[in-house]
Chains A and B, each alone.
Chain A
Amino acid sequence: MAAINRDDVAHLARLAHIEMSAEELDRMAIELAVIVDSVKSVSEAAGDDVPATSHPIPLTNVFREDVVGHTFTAEQALSGAPDAFENRFKVPAILDED
């Protein structure tokens, strides 16, 4: 497993949408390298025959009947919004297209 470096951290910060200063990137790279090093034994702990556990208590088929429940008013929905206009959440321009 490759060690984590500053460029990795910069890339991860972009993916995670957290702006970071140069100093933060440097510091985080050092800290993460230590942490990653300390957890690397995990990848050698289990063989291919060991199944993964994603839920500690296995359950299956937990469903909801298709029955309408409560809704918010637009006012409730927008009550915590940093910015809103005409009952919609207002956001600055979007750079990326999709």
Chain B
Amino acid sequence: MTELKNELIRHSAADLAAKLAAREVSAVEVTQAHLDRIADVDGQVNAFLHVNSEEALAVAAEVDAARAAGGAAAEELHALAGVPIAVKDLIVTIGQPTTAGSKILEGWHSPYDATVVKKLRAAKMPILGKTNLDEFAMGSSTEHSAYGPTRNPWDLDRIPGGSGGGSAAAVAAFEAPLALGTDTGGSIRQPGAVTGTVGMKPTYGAVSRYGAIAMASSLDQIGPVSRTVLDSALLQEVIGGHDPFDSTSLTDPFNNLVAAARVGNVAGMKIGIIKELHGEGYQGGVENRFNESLQLLKDAGAEIVEVSCPNLKYALGAYYLIMPSEVSSNLAKFDGVRFGMRVLPKDGPMTIERVMGATRAAGFGDEVKRRIILGTYALSAGYYDAYYGSAQKVRTLIQRDFDAAFAKADVLISPTAPTTAFKLGEKLDDPLAMYLNDVATIPANLAGIPGLSLPGGLADEDGLPVGIQLLAPAREDARLYRVGAVLESILEEKWGGPMLAQAPDLKNAVLDAASTTAGGSN
């Protein structure tokens, strides 16, 4: 039984879907296997803030009942029905708490579901629980969570990336085959890179943001986290599509993603290396793996060209003006009046202004406060034009750079992050160093274009995962799945299997823990 379960949790979502459809396994078995895995290893990884066992198993049972009934009930099931999924705790869910990784929302239950959650429910995908994140998705290490950091399954002393470290680590640690993330400056892709998983930031507007607690509205995008490129394509087709509740939602169908992931060749495609996004500042092992991927793509028949996006040097600066500006406004609603925490001032007059000030002082962590203050500054009278206004212009310049680059190449390629996973605590006291992790991922958010990160191998010097990032023009998400799937298959052929097969076995580390945890495993 344990062997079977071990095997079940290692399957891709696509394989699980096939086994479920063929009734080789039941949805309850699949869901239970993942819940057991969470019980086994999450004490170490801390990927989950809330585990939703009861509801997940009930949904799985519904799927099994529909399959058993056969006929229309079975036929109407979505292809991914019964495939469990984890949801980043920035996305609101009825019936489970939503904290955004912040004390200010501790214990809060949303009275409504995010659009993507509605879609998961409609597809009858059991929701395993809510995953850890940097508070309000602000960070690159998940260390800024008010509920303790998530650890990287490749090395528990290292960060899993952020902000979506919980979703990436859950998928990397086989606690879930799929997860939802959100990506404002790289929060899906950078954790994907450092945990050896696949993460996709769709085109801005391809997936509804309704119900994702806003960090920076013009940059945020929900997207899939998975272990294979095909799985991300499958998941994006579930969660994507037009949503009348999101005014920035695109009407494009985005229904060619799975097909693209199955095309299987890149012959004749032009792949552009972005001159500014590799080399200096990038770890040697990262650079090596990047060059290796380029060579493999070239061998597969792609033409490699070099492009230049000179304005990317302003991207990080523009991002750190636009993002905090929007943050300062989006997070104003957390004030202790309508929901969440309320803290009373220790002394002095008990006015609402002071209660708001005390609540926000106690409820927000340092990084959140830093960004709110920075954004308040960038928007304040006398500074708007120089800061927010200029940053919006830089956005235009970066979009123009990408337009020019995409005139020369079908997709662009770069390392996802400049380094492999760093040690917990290493950059916590140096905000600027932390921000540099996102230097390669931020441009896609500023331009609204899609970006995919997939495993590119292990760095020579530390044996830790390196991510390869692919970028495509807006609305051309399918291209990323096509090129990503090909690169993934060439690399896996080279490695003799998925890269995560090389990850250390958490189970041994965890068996001791399991024996001391009542009902931990059977």
Contacts and interface: CB of A to CB of B under 8 A. Distances in A.
A31 interface: yes
B317 A80 contact: no
The size bracket of the interface on A is: 35 or more
B392 A35 contact: no
B393 A45 contact: yes
Contacts of B374: 32, 35-36
Contact of B386 (A34, A43, A53, A62): A43
B334 to A, nearest CB: 10
A15 B376 contact: yes
A76 interface: yes
Given A55-B248, A82-B342, A17 B205 contact: no
A8 interface: yes
B360 interface: yes
Interface string B96-115: 00000000000011010000
B285 interface: no
Interface string B211-239: 00000001100000000000000000000
Contacts of A46: 390, 393-394, 396-397
Given A50-B397, A57-B204, A93-B350, A1 B386 contact: yes
A80 B107 CA distance: 9
A46 B314 CA distance: 10
A42 B394 contact: yes
Given A82-B342, A95-B349, A56 B446 contact: yes
Nearest to A21: B361
B370 A32 contact: yes
Interface stretch (B47-55, B166-174, B351-359, B500-508): B351-359
B320 A18 contact: no
Given A18-B373, A19-B361, A50-B393, A95 B351 contact: yes
Interface residues of B, number: 73
Contacts of A79: 109, 111
A36 to B, nearest CB: 7
Interface centre among A42, A64, A81, A82 (most CB of B within 10 A): A42
Interface string B372-415: 11101100100100110111111111010000000000000000
Given A19-B360, A82-B337, A52 B396 contact: yes
Nearest to B386: A43
Contacts of B349: 93, 95
A19 B370 contact: no
B336 A16 contact: no
A59 to B, nearest CB: 7
Contacts of B377: 4, 8, 12, 32, 36
B253 interface: no
A45 B311 contact: yes
B63 interface: no
Interface of B: 108-109, 111, 203-205, 218-219, 244, 247-248, 250, 311, 313-314, 316-318, 320-321, 328, 332, 335-342, 345, 349-358, 360-361, 364, 369-370, 372-374, 376-377, 380, 383, 386-387, 389-397, 399, 431-432, 445-449, 474
Interface of A: 1, 4, 8-9, 12-13, 15-20, 24, 28, 31-32, 34-36, 38-46, 50-57, 59, 62, 64, 72, 76-77, 79-83, 89, 91-96
The 10 A-B residue pairs with the shortest CB-CB distance, nearest first, are A56-B448, A80-B339, A46-B393, A52-B392, A82-B342, A39-B317, A19-B357, A19-B361, A53-B395, A95-B351
22 contacts: A1-B383, A16-B360, A28-B373, A31-B370, A32-B377, A35-B374, A36-B377, A39-B321, A41-B314, A43-B386, A45-B390, A53-B399, A56-B204, A56-B399, A56-B445, A77-B111, A82-B336, A82-B337, A83-B342, A91-B337, A93-B352, A95-B354
